[in-house]
Structure 1
Amino acid sequence: DALPGENTFLERLLAPLIQGEAQAAYARQVPRPDASPLEAFARRFNYPERPELRTAEDIPRLGIRAFFFSNVASAVETGTFRALGGFSEEVLVNEDMLFCASLLKAGHRVAYVPEAWVLHSHRYTLPQAFRRYFDIGVFMAQAGLPSAGGEGMRFLSRQLAHLGGRLDLWPRAVLEAGCKYLAWHLGRRHRLLPCALCRRLSQLPAWWKP
C-alpha cells in the first residue's frame, strides 16, 4: 500500500548500500493527500526531511528511536540479512524494528534516506488505533527492548503545537494519545490477561493461540 514518489526511488534508496555507507536503508513516508491532519503530522514526526546514519554508538543517545526502521520501503544487504536470521517470526509485529536492533548491535549501520520517498499513510479509527498499539505493546514485551521513555508525551506536545489554532482537533489528538497509551501498557502486560481477551484486543486475532 505504498507508492514510490518518483522514478529514481530505488536508485536513491540503494545508494548507501552500494556506496558501502550502510548495510540497511529505509525510505521516507509522505502522507497521502487524503490523510487527516493528525496522521499527516505523525508521518512528518517519524519521517523528517533530514537524512540520518545510525550505528550502535547512537543507542545511548536515541534510546529506542535508534531502532526505528520500516520495511514498508527498505533495503538490506542480502548477506547481512541472512547472517542475522532475517525478520523474526516469533514477534507479533514490528519485526523490522527488532531486526534493526540486531543490525546495530552486530556493528552494522542503518541509513534513513528521505530523498527516497513513498506515499503511505492510514486513516485509523480509535478502535483500530487501540488494537495497533496493543500489538506494539505486546511486541515491546516480547522483544525486551527499552521503554519509549516519554516519547508519547513528546509526540503529543509537538502535535498540539503543530495544530496551533485548530482547537477543533485538540480533543481528538488527546483522546487518540490516551487510547494509544492505554493500549500500549495493556499490551506490555498481555501475559497477565486471558488469551481470549488478547485476541479481542489485537489487530491479529489469529496469532493468539490458547
Structure 2
Amino acid sequence: MFMTQDAVPAGPEWLDRLVAPIRSGEAVATFARQLPRPEASVLEEFSRHFNYPAQSRLRTRADIPEMGVKAFFFSNVCSAVRTDVFWELGGFPDDVIMNEDMLMAAKVLRAGYAIKYVAGAEVVHSHDYSLKQQFRRNFDVGAFFADAGGMLEGAAVGGEGFRFVREQLRYVLRRGRPDLLPLVVLEAGAKFSAFQLGKRHRFLPLSVKKRMSMHSYHWDQKKE
C-alpha cells in the first residue's frame, strides 16, 4: 500500500475500501479518489473532480482502445498493489522522470491483470501550481511519454487534453467565474507547449532541460 506524505484520509473506512477489490480477487491494483483541499483554487478543484470522478471503474487491457491514456491513469498518492504481482512486474521503475505509477499500471494491464479506481476510498490531496510550475511539470510529463516506449502504446493524449480544457471552461462558467477564462487559456497553452518540448527533449541541451524541468535532478543521471 502506498500513500504520499501530503494526502489525508477523508474518512475512517478509506483503507478497507481501497484494498477490498484486491482481497476479493476483483483486481490486483487499486487507487483512491482524491478530493481538493478546502482552500484549493477553482481550477485545481476542477482538476480533482475531472481526474477522480464519483464513480468507481474496473479497467483491463480490453479498455485501452476505448480509454486511451486514461486506461493507464493510476496514482500512488494513495494506492495498493498485490505484493506478488508488484514484484513480479519489477515494482516501480526508478529510471523515469515521473509517472512511475502510470508505467506500473501499464505493466499490470499488459500482463492481463485488472486495476480498479475506488471512488469510495477518499483522500484529500491537491496542489495549486503556478503557471511556471505547470510548465515545468508538463515538460516532465512530455519527457516521460517520449521515453516510455511501447509500454504506453495506444495511450493517445491529445483528445483527453482537449476534453479537459473544454470541461474546465464550462466549469468556471458554472461557478460564476468568467474572470478565470484567460487563466484557463494561459494554463492550457503552458501545458501544451511544455508537453511538446518535453516530448522532444532529446534535441535540447542538458542545461536547457534542467531549467525547464520540475525534477532537474533526473537529468544529472542522464548522458547528453
Alignment size in residue pairs:
210
In the TM superposition, 1:85-104 aligns within 5 A as: 85-104=90-109
Determine the C-alpha separation between the residues in 1 that align with 2:41 and 2:82. Answer: 35
Deviations 1:62-91 (A, max 9, x none): 111100000000000000000000001121
In the TM superposition, 1:33-72 aligns within 5 A as: 33-72=38-77
CA-based RMSD of the aligned residues comes to 0.8
Structure 2 portions without partners, runs of 5+: 1-5
* Matching residue of 1:197: 208
Determine the C-alpha separation between the residues in 1 that align with 2:135 and 2:158. Answer: 20
1:204 Cα shift?
Answer: 1.1
SS at match of 1:50: coil
Structure 1 portions without partners, runs of 5+: none
1:147 Cα shift?
Answer: 3.1
Do residues 108 (structure 1) and 117 (structure 2) align? no
Determine the C-alpha separation between the residues in 2 that align with 1:197 and 1:131. Answer: 12
Do residues 168 (structure 1) and 184 (structure 2) align? no
Q: Percent identity?
A: 53
Return the TM-score normalized by structure 1.
0.98
Moved segments of 4+, more than 2 Å: 144-147
Determine the C-alpha separation between the residues in 1 that align with 2:116 and 2:160. Answer: 21
SS at match of 2:112: coil
Determine the C-alpha separation between the residues in 2 that align with 1:161 and 1:40. Answer: 13
Do residues 155 (structure 1) and 164 (structure 2) align? yes
Return the TM-score normalized by structure 2.
0.92
